[in-house]
Amino acid sequence: MADLKAQFEAAVADSKNLTERPDNATLLKLYALYKQATLGDNGDAKPGFGDMVGRAKWDAWNGLKGTSNDDAMQKYIDLVGSLS
């Protein structure tokens, strides 16, 4: 568990230094995996139609409901690794 957490924290740091900015779909996936890994299932209220970005983020995170923190961390690590 400590190794996974260390790898996750390293991947978070690496994600900020990517040579190329990922497309919006990949950024949403990174956001959702990060939130799921650090906070667990989405318990926030769904943003209204006027907040398109907030709604997209909420939908992406909510789509991971039920995913364990460890699984989300590993998927985040794998995704950042594929972008490097």
The 3-state DSSP class for residue 74 equals helix
Q: pTM score, two decimals? A: 0.92
The pLDDT value recorded for residue 3 is: 94
Domain ranges of the chain: 2-83
The pLDDT value recorded for residue 1 is: 61
Q: Which two tokens stand for residue 60?
A: 């992406």
The CATH fold of domain 2-83: Acyl-CoA Binding Protein (1.20.80)
Instruction: Give the chain's residues under pLDDT 70.
Output: 1
Q: Which helix (H) or strand (E) holds 38?
A: helix 24-39
The pLDDT value recorded for residue 29 is: 97
Q: Please report, as a single letter, which amino acid is at residue 31.
A: Y
Q: Is 13 left (phi over 0), alpha (psi -120 to 50) or beta?
A: alpha
The pLDDT value recorded for residue 24 is: 95
